[in-house]
Amino acid sequence: RATFTHLKNLEPAALFEILFSLCLLGVLALMYLGVLARPELTLVIPIAAWAGAAPVLYGAVRQLMAREWASMEMLASIALGFSLYSNEWASAVFIALMLSGSRLLSVLTEARARKSIESLLKLRPDTAKVDREGRIELVPLEAVRVGDTIVVDAGDRVPVDGMVLIGDAALDESS
């Protein structure tokens, strides 16, 4: 089941990327269906090609100024440049759609990873039972020092990394 609850937390630039990808996909679909073959609509394809190329070319120029020669943006800008130069509008729109789609997938993957990490951090205990001279003290994790002996009872979450000193342990490390 696909859920898009993480879309509500996206930045405006990412939402623009989604809409832009859908627009490029729509232009390609209409072009291949023959709808854009009418004379009054022939400018739509070159406009879409230039609009799709603009962010890629801008990124390539920024990378050139930063002396970053080998990147996906550079390769894509070369392909887009040749497509635009030779008036291959469909190729330019398709390349722009592919890049827009890859940026979109990157943003969605990052949002999902961030959400997963946040949910894992919620499982982390805030305190640890520290054995200090035979007394068990409940201390915040920030107060645990290297070399402290931590007491972990059955069913407790392990608050910090370490090794078993006394007894046996079987831990479920899955998250």
Four-CA torsion 94, 96, 99, 100, nearest 10 degrees? -110
Residue among 52, 49, 47 nearest 20 (CA): 52
pLDDT for 8 beyond 70: no
Write out the two tokens for 161. Answer: 């990394």
Q: What letter would DSSP give residue 69?
A: -
Using left for φ > 0, alpha for ψ between -120 and 50, and beta otherwise, residue 22 falls in alpha
The Cβ of residue 173 has, within 10 Å, a number of other Cβ atoms equal to 5
The Cβ of residue 95 has, within 10 Å, a number of other Cβ atoms equal to 23
Question: How far apart are alpha carbons 109 and 50 in whole angstroms?
Answer: 27
Half-sphere exposure of 151 (CA within 13 A, CB side): 12
Tens-place pLDDT, residues 108-167: 888 888 888 988 888 888 889 999 888 999 999 888 889 888 898 888 888 888 888 888
pLDDT for 3 beyond 60: no
Global pTM? Answer: 0.61
Write out the two tokens for 155. Answer: 């069913």
Tens-place pLDDT, residues 45-67: 888 888 888 888 888 888 888 88
